[in-house]
């Protein structure tokens, strides 16, 4: 028996509107939440047009021209804008009758490409019982006929399975929202030996006692063991470090859970993953910005403070769920509004942009004064930031392995 997708009615109207605007086909993403019993689709978002396509609402006439890489990049950007509990559930295509019969293979390729890309960025391992089916939705622009199939992204040889597509009004109007504030103070030492080649190894370690977590909002509490206690024998070693990176501040975390007999386990998992994702995503955004604006060859051998982008939330009509994004201090509301239009095809009013946090900082002290010339040549800021970007997940090991406890006093 195939899976059942319960879909917000507004998604149906959105797909209908797209079918009249774009010919001969248009692609996009399906956003929602998985559960063991059923899946929920609360948003559909068309693939943003490339520069050459912005002049008119047309697509290339052949499905072979579907840009798999472009759609995958869009999915990666959108995944950053989703709070805990939400994910890219699949893809859709609205095509003319003559193209519809050949669109399933194209969708299959895109689904597996997206999964491969998102898996590389993912800092947590999916649970064994976790749903790995992703949807491929076909809509005929002429007849409006809908065909939904799923593929198991954990199986490269997976064949299509039929799935039910059922519309429901006010699907996510009363979903449960879980909020907490996490106070972070993560110190990352950089070993002095072979900084270029071994920086990955230097930052890939399990840190204890350097991160503090507390809850300030709602009835969610995040508790971690701050020390092992005197009864545990220490295995610490002393190593010479050439510098360090420090992440410090209070970050706003949020997750949503469906209201159809939700389980506490689902809520805990969604919130833990949001804590991991929001730290990783904003560091990625900062590092990308530094590398682009400062260039790959600029060296930094003195202490530098950078402000992490702040998290913000934006509502969308008919739902209690809010979408997320990040802004730098000097970004105007107009830039954020443009990003929502491009990435999520959603118009946002400036007054609806809710900044959730104070400013948080990254303190980078890459090298000491006695670092030799060879090490200085190797340890550019671009190298340092890229290596940290690739391995920051290990700093959050305690979350991905399940050490922290999350308590919800009034969750039913």
Domain's final residue, options 168, 196, 225:
168
Give residues with Cβ within 8 angstroms of 137, minimum separation 6: 30, 90, 91, 92, 93, 107, 146, 147, 148, 165
Inter-CA distances, 241 with 224, 238, 368, 369, Å: 27, 9, 8, 12
239 and 376 within one domain: yes
206 and 150 within one domain: no
CA distance 42 to 87: 10
Domain's final residue, options 106, 138, 168:
168
148 and 32 within one domain: yes
301 and 183 within one domain: yes
54 and 76 within one domain: yes
SS (H, E, C) the chain: CCCEEEEEHHHHHHHHHHHHHCECEEEEEEEEEECCCCEEEEEEEECCCCHHHCCCCECCCCHHHCCHHHHHHHHHHHHHCCCECCEEEEEEEEECHHHHCCHHHHHHHHHHHHHHHHHHHCCCCCCCCCCCEEEEEEEECCCCCEEEEEEECCCCCCCCEECEEEEECCCCCCCEEEEEEEEEEEEEEEECCCHHHHHHHHHCCCCCCCCCCCCCCCCEEEECCCCCCCCCCCCCCCCCEEEEEEEEEEEEEEEEECCCCCCHHHHHHHHHHHHHHHHHHHHHHHHHHHHHHHCCCCCCCCCEEEEECEEEEEECCCCCCEEEEEECCCCCHHHHHHHHHHHHCCCCCHHHCEECCCCEEEEEECCCCCCCHHHHHHCCHHHHHHHHHHHHHHHHHHHHCCCCEEEECCCC
Cβ atoms of 180 and 218 closer than 8 Å: yes
130 and 197 within one domain: no
Low-confidence ranges of the chain (pLDDT < 50): 194-204, 206-219, 227-228, 368-371, 374-379, 394-395, 402, 408-412
CA distance 49 to 71: 10
Contacts within 8 Å (CB) and 24+ apart, 206-214: 206/394, 206/397, 206/398, 207/395, 207/397, 210/185, 210/186, 211/184, 211/185, 211/186, 211/398, 212/183, 212/184, 212/185, 213/182, 213/183, 213/184, 213/404, 214/181, 214/182, 214/183
Per-residue confidence (pLDDT) for residue 17, from 0 to 100: 94
317 and 268 within one domain: yes
CATH of the domain at 115: 3.40.140.10
Distance, CA of 192 to chain centre: 33
143 and 256 within one domain: no
181 and 150 within one domain: no
201 and 157 within one domain: no
Domain's final residue, options 135, 168, 201:
168
295 and 150 within one domain: no
CA distance 318 to 315: 9
Q: Sheet with 354-355: list strands edge to edge.
A: 322-327, 310-315, 354-355
| Helix 195-203 and helix 381-391, axial crossing angle in degrees, nearest 10 | 30
What domain range includes position 183?
176-408
325 and 341 within one domain: yes
Number of structural domains the chain divides into:
2
């Amino acid at each position: 028996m195939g899976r059942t997708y319960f879909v917000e009615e507004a998604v149906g109207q959105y797909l209908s509107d797209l079918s009249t605007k774009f010919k001969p086909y248009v692609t996009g993403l399906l956003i929602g939440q998985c559960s063991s019993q059923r899946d929920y689709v609360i948003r559909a978002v068309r693939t943003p047009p490339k520069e050459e396509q912005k002049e008119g609402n047309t697509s290339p006439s052949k499905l072979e021209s579907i840009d798999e890489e472009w759609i995958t990049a869009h999915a990666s950007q959108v995944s950053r804008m989703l709070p805990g509990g939400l994910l890219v559930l699949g893809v859709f295509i609205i095509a003319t009758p003559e193209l519809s019969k050949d669109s399933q293979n194209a969708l299959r390729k895109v689904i597996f490409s997206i999964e491969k890309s998102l898996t590389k960025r993912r800092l947590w391992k999916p649970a064994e019982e976790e749903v790995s089916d992703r949807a491929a939705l076909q809509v005929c622009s002429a007849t409006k006929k809908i065909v939904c199939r799923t593929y198991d992204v954990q199986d490269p040889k997976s064949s299509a399975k039929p799935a039910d597509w059922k519309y429901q009004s006010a699907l996510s109007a009363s979903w449960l929202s879980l909020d907490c504030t996490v106070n972070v103070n993560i110190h990352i030492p950089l070993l002095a030996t072979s900084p270029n080649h071994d920086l990955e190894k230097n930052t890939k370690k399990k840190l204890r006692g350097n991160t503090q977590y507390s809850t300030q909002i709602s009835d969610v509490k995040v508790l971690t063991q701050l020390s092992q206690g005197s009864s545990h024998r220490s295995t610490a070693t002393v190593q010479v470090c050439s510098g360090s990176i420090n992440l410090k501040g209070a970050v706003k975390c949020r997750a949503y859970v469906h209201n159809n007999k939700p389980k506490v386990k689902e809520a805990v998992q969604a919130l833990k993953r949001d804590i991991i994702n929001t730290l990783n995503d904003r560091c990625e955004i900062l590092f990308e910005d530094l590398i682009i604006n400062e260039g790959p060859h600029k060296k930094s051998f003195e202490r530098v403070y950078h402000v992490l982008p702040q998290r913000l939330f934006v509502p969308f009509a008919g739902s209690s769920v809010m979408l997320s994004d990040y802004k730098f201090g000097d970004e105007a509301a107009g830039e954020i509004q443009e990003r929502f239009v491009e990435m999520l095809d959603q118009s946002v009013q400036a007054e609806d942009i809710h900044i959730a946090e104070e400013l948080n900082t990254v303190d980078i002290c890459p090298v000491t004064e006695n670092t030799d010339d060879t090490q200085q040549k190797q340890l550019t800021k671009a190298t340092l930031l890229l290596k940290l970007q690739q391995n920051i997940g290990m700093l959050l090991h305690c979350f991905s392995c399940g050490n922290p406890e999350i308590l919800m006093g009034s969750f039913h």
